[in-house]
Amino acid sequence: MKLSAASFLILGIVGSQLAGRVLSEPQYVAPQARLQNPVEAPQSQPVDEVVAAEVAAAVAQEADLLISPNVSNHADTLEAQVNTATKTENSLGAVVEKPQLIAQSGKTVDDIVTIKTVAGATVDSLADQYGISADTIRWENNLSANASDLAAGTDLKILPVTGLTYTVADGDTPASIAGTFKTSEEDVSAFNDVEVKGLPAGTKIIVPNGVKPAPTPARSRSTSSSTSGSVGFSLGNTPLINGGNRYAYGYCTYYAYAKRVAAGLPVGSNWGNATTWASRARASGFAVDKNPRAGDIFQTSDGGGGYGHAGYVESVNADGSITVSEMNYTGWNRISGRTIPAGSTGQFNYIH
């Protein structure tokens, strides 16, 4: 034995003092109780059992006991349970439950508001004011794809998050809705509390980060090369204009194509990765230059891991900057917007 009788005595005293300190701490407060006042930090220290296990592990290691690895592993296990699992009201039981998908924003469909615009308001200014995308405002209020200026006194519905509303139909699931509107199944479930409420037919929900499907263009039997002002189909390496979104889902080119079609503007279906969009657009008869206009596709061959990047010009601002929307700039399958300063607009090509 490594420990003398004196060591046993010291270990007993230290252990008793630490255990007494643990037992004197306030008890664990269940997550439900904390949510009642999320601003005020809880005064208790969760969870006493974890603290006691950590004390035991520290004492065992200090005394070099043979069981110290076992005690340490037990402490690690308890801590992992507390950090990663939902707990029942009985904190000492440490019952692990399936975590419920909960909307992080705390917003619901009931938080949609109707506002009346004032003089000088634009779609972009309201989008900035409410922290949502400009398209969210356009989609919810049936505005045109390039709508910008708004008449004073216009009633507009404002969603609490970027996305769109949808009325649930028979047979809908979070997965089917996510697939239709190009967002994540988890976002649909969490925001609308689907695990608790389900998806009853006729219910109006919000599809967070959803994208309004582009209208399907009318087919043409023409096989000749199309110009920038026509919709046609062609074979081989010849241009294919508005022939369906053939780009990889979740990437910048997928979104740029969908935006142009939604705006009623022509765009190529076979232009490849974003890095070749400018050259393929020229070959298809499109005007491409360094002068941005609302409704243009902006394109660069730089970045994107060699694949380039493309997006949609929402507006050209008075100071020469441009407001754009794009996908896969802040993350895969994520739609975002930004303002590119006037001094940086020359870094891009613009497909008219």
Overall domain count for the chain: 3
For range 51-69, the mean pLDDT: 63
Domain for residue 342, yes or no?
A: yes
Domain for residue 214, yes or no?
A: no
Q: Which range among 109-123, 254-268, 295-309 shows the weakest confidence by mean pLDDT?
A: 295-309
Q: Which among 41, 39, 43 is positioned nearest to 26, based on CA atoms?
A: 43
Q: Which among 57, 55, 58, 47 is positioned nearest to 83, based on CA atoms?
A: 47
Which among 12-26, 62-76, 106-120 has the top mean pLDDT?
Answer: 106-120
Per-residue pLDDT tens digits for 158-182? 999 999 999 999 999 999 998 888 8
- The answer to whether residues 117 and 89 belong to one domain is no
Count of CB atoms situated within 10 Å of the CB of 53: 21
Q: CATH number, domain at 266?
A: 3.90.1720.10
- Return the amino acid letter for 112: I
Reading the block at residue 240, the tokens are 């294919």
- The answer to whether residues 303 and 343 belong to one domain is yes
Domain for residue 126, yes or no?
A: yes
pLDDT score for 157? 95
H-helix or E-strand spanning residue 339: strand 335-340
Domain for residue 261, yes or no?
A: yes
**Domain extent for 158:** 109-208
- The answer to whether residues 89 and 113 belong to one domain is no
- The answer to whether residues 78 and 147 belong to one domain is no
Radius of gyration of the chain (CA): 29
- The answer to whether residues 125 and 58 belong to one domain is no
For range 29-54, the mean pLDDT: 50
Q: Give CA separation, 265 vs 116, 215, 259, 297, 351, in Å.
A: 30, 12, 9, 10, 11
- DSSP-assigned beta bridge partners for residue 157: 114
For range 8-23, the mean pLDDT: 50
Domain for residue 191, yes or no?
A: yes
- The answer to whether residues 192 and 263 belong to one domain is no
Of 93, 117, 145, which one is at a domain's C-terminal end?
93
pLDDT score for 306? 77
Give the number of C-alpha atoms closer than 13 A to the C-alpha of residue 202, restricted to the C-beta side. Answer: 0
Per-residue pLDDT tens digits for 108-163? 888 999 999 999 999 999 999 999 998 899 999 988 877 889 999 999 999 999 99
- The answer to whether residues 117 and 194 belong to one domain is yes
Per-residue pLDDT tens digits for 245-258? 888 888 899 999 99
Of 46, 61, 93, which one is at a domain's C-terminal end?
93
- The answer to whether residues 39 and 126 belong to one domain is no
Domain for residue 227, yes or no?
A: no
Domain for residue 29, yes or no?
A: yes
Which among 3-7, 48-52, 319-323 has the top mean pLDDT?
Answer: 319-323
pTM value surpassing 0.75 = no
- The answer to whether residues 259 and 342 belong to one domain is yes
Per-residue pLDDT tens digits for 101-117? 444 456 788 899 999 99
- The answer to whether residues 121 and 35 belong to one domain is no
pLDDT score for 232? 38
Domain for residue 217, yes or no?
A: no
pLDDT score for 71? 54
